[in-house]
C-alpha cells in the first residue's frame, strides 16, 4: 500500500472485501464519506410509539400583526457606504490616502496663494503711462485701454499658472501617494515585527522569543517593551506551572510505590483471607490507575517544555514500534488493526513521538466498538507535510465535543469521571508533543462513529 501524494484518485482501499462501506474512516487520507441518511430514520414522537413526529416548521417566520421594530430594512446613505468602504481598508492604505489628501489640500492652498500673489505682483509692477499734449477725452480712452491690458495680462498669467500648476500638482500628487505608501509601510515596520513575533510564540518559545525593538523612545518602542515584559511574565507563569506539575508528580510517586509494595506483600501472605485478598486486588487496581495518572502528568509536563533532544526520526519506525506494543491489547479488545506505513523523516525527540503515536493508538483501542472494532494507522507525506493518521470505529462523537477532548482530564460525555478507561490525558499529551515539535493535530468525527485524528509535522 502507498500513501497518496495529496490527491484522492490513487487512494488505496484498506477495507477487506465484503465489509460495508460504513466502516471506512473519513478524512483526506481516508476513504470517502459513507451514506449517513439511510441509517438515521424518523424517530417516533415521545409518548406515542409508532407515530412519526411531525417535521418542524420551516421557511421565514409569519408575523401576526405589524412587523417588529427594525424588520423593515433601511437603505444606507452615501455617508454610510463611505464609512463601510473606509472600514474595509487596511491601516496602510488609510495612512496612504491620508498622506495623499493632506498633500493635495496643501498643494491646492499653496496654488491659491500663488494664484492671488501673481495678480498682486503684476498689478503692483504695472507701469503708469500718461499721454502728453492730447485732449482729455483721448487721454481717458487711453487709460481705459491701458487698464484693460493690465487686467488681460493678469488673467493671462493666472490662467497659464493655473493650468501648468494643476498638471504639476497631479503628477507630483501621484508621486506623493507612492511615497506616502512607502512611508506608511516604513512607519508600520515595528508593528509588523510585533505581529511576526506574536505569531511565532508558543509555550516552548516564551523563554527566548522577544521583539527587542530598537529606536527612539517613542510610543511604538514603549508598546514593544510592554509586550516584551508581558512575555517575560507569561514565561515565568508557565514555567512555574510546569515545574509545579513535575515536582508534584515526582513527590506523589514515592507513596504510590510504597502502597503497591505493601499491597503486594499482603497479597502474597498465604494466611490472608479471601476478603482481604479481594480488597488488596481492588486497591492495587486503584493504585495502578493513580500511577498511570502520575506518569501522564510527568509526560505532559515534559512535553510542554522545549525539546532537549533533536535527532532524525522516521515516523514509520515510531508507528511500527507503537503498533507492536499495543497489538496484544487490540487483540484482547477484539479490534482489528490495519496499517499503511510509509517512510517520512522529521527531527525531534523519538521517545516523545513514540508516546504520541502510542497514545493515539491506545485511545483508538479503548474507545472502540465492544466487538468487531476497526482501527487504521497511516503515516507518510501528504502535500509536502509529514502526516500521521489514526482512525477508528466507535461511538458517535458530536463535532462540538471534539476540541474539548484535547483538554486535560476531559472525556466524551464525562468530565473528570469514569476513570476506568484512563486518566483523560492521552490526547492532551498528543497535542503537547505535537506543538513542541512545531506541528499541529486535528480531529474530526468519522461517519459511522469514531474519530479521525491527524498529526502534521514539519518534514526534515
Give residue 37's pLDDT: 39
CA-based nearest residue to 30, from 38, 18, 22: 22
Q: Mean pLDDT throughout 343-359?
A: 87
Calculate the average pLDDT of the chain: 76
pLDDT band for position 222 (50/70/90)? Answer: confident
Strand ordering across the sheet containing 451-457: 335-341, 373-382, 385-392, 451-457, 440-445
Residues β-bridged to residue 381: 386
pLDDT at res. 418 = 46
- Checking if the pLDDT of 1 tops 60, the result is no
Residue 388: which pLDDT band, with cuts at 50, 70 and 90? very high
Element (H, E) at 457: strand 451-457
The residue among 342, 432, 424 whose CA lies nearest residue 389 is 342
Distances (CA, A) of 90 to 77, 95, 97, 195, 311: 23, 9, 11, 15, 43
pLDDT of 164 reads: 87
Q: Which of 209, 207, 208 is nearest to 194 (CA)?
A: 209
Nearest CA among 342, 301, 303 for reference residue 320: 342
C-alpha cell at 385: 507535510
Greater pLDDT, 453 or 26:
453
pLDDT of residue 410: 64
166-180, 240-254, 258-272, 412-426: least confident range: 412-426
pLDDT at residue 406 above 70?
Answer: yes
Q: What is the pLDDT of residues 157-206, one digit of tens each?
A: 888 888 888 888 888 888 888 888 888 888 888 888 888 887 777 656 67
The contacts of residue 325 (CB under 8 Å, 6+ apart) are 358
Q: Determine the distance from the C-alpha atom of residue 312 to the mean position of all C-alpha atoms in its chain, rounded to a whole number.
A: 28
Quick check: 455 and 41 in contact, CB under 8 A? no
Which of 65-79, 342-356, 396-410 shows the lowest mean pLDDT across its residues? 65-79
Q: Are 355 and 31 in contact (CB under 8 A)?
A: no
Q: How far is CA 410 from CA 158, 201, 290, 296, 450, in A?
A: 81, 26, 16, 14, 16
Amino acid at each position: 500500500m502507498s500513501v497518496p501524494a495529496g490527491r484522492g484518485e490513487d487512494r488505496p482501499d484498506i477495507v477487506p472485501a465484503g465489509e460495508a462501506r460504513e466502516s471506512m474512516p473519513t478524512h483526506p487520507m481516508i476513504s470517502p464519506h459513507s451514506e449517513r441518511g439511510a441509517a438515521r430514520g424518523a424517530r417516533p414522537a415521545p409518548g406515542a410509539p409508532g407515530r412519526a413526529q411531525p417535521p418542524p416548521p420551516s421557511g421565514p417566520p409569519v408575523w401576526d400583526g405589524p412587523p417588529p421594530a427594525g424588520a423593515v430594512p433601511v437603505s444606507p446613505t452615501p455617508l454610510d457606504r463611505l464609512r463601510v468602504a473606509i472600514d474595509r481598508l487596511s491601516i496602510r492604505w488609510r495612512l496612504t490616502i491620508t498622506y495623499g489628501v493632506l498633500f493635495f489640500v496643501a498643494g491646492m492652498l499653496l496654488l491659491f496663494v500663488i494664484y492671488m500673489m501673481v495678480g498682486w505682483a503684476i498689478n503692483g509692477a504695472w507701469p503708469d503711462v500718461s499721454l502728453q499734449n492730447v485732449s482729455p477725452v483721448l487721454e481717458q480712452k487711453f487709460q481705459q485701454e491701458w487698464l484693460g491690458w493690465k487686467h488681460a495680462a493678469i488673467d493671462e498669467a493666472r490662467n497659464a499658472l493655473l493650468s501648468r500648476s494643476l498638471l504639476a500638482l497631479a503628477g507630483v500628487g501621484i508621486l506623493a501617494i507612492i511615497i506616502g505608501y512607502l512611508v506608511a509601510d516604513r512607519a508600520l515596520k515595528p508593528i509588523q515585527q510585533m505581529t511576526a513575533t506574536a505569531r511565532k510564540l508558543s509555550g516552548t518559545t516564551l523563554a527566548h522569543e522577544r521583539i527587542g525593538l530598537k529606536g527612539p523612545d517613542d510610543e511604538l518602542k514603549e508598546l514593544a517593551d510592554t509586550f516584551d515584559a508581558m512575555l517575560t511574565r507569561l514565561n515565568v507563569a508557565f514555567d512555574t506551572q510546569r515545574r509545579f506539575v513535575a515536582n508534584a508528580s515526582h513527590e506523589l510517586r514515592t507513596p504510590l510505590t510504597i502502597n503497591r509494595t505493601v499491597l503486594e506483600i499482603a497479597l502474597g501472605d498465604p494466611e490472608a483471607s479471601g476478603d482481604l485478598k479481594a480488597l488488596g486486588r481492588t486497591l492495587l487496581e486503584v493504585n495502578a490507575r493513580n500511577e498511570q495518572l502520575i506518569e501522564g502528568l510527568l509526560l505532559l509536563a515534559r512535553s510542554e517544555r522545549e525539546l532537549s533532544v533533536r535527532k532524525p526520526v522516521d515516523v514509520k519506525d515510531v508507528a511500527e514500534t507503537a503498533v507492536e506494543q499495543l497489538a496484544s491489547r487490540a487483540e484482547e479488545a477484539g479490534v482489528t488493526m490495519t496499517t499503511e506505513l510509509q517512510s517520512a523523516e522529521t527531527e525531534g525527540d523519538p521517545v516523545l513521538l513514540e508516546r504520541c503515536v502510542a497514545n493515539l493508538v491506545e485511545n483508538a483501542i479503548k474507545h472502540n466498538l465492544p466487538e468487531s472494532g476497526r482501527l487504521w494507522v497511516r503515516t507518510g507525506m501528504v502535500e509536502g507535510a509529514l502526516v500521521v493518521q489514526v482512525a477508528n470505529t466507535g461511538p458517535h462523537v458530536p463535532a462540538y465535543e471534539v476540541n474539548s477532548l484535547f483538554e486535560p482530564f476531559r472525556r466524551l460525555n464525562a468530565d473528570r469521571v469514569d476513570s476506568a478507561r484512563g486518566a483523560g490525558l492521552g490526547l492532551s499529551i498528543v497535542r503537547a508533543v505535537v506543538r513542541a515539535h512545531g506541528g499541529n493535530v486535528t480531529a474530526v468525527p468519522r461517519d459511522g462513529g469514531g474519530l479521525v485524528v491527524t498529526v502534521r509535522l514539519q518534514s526534515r
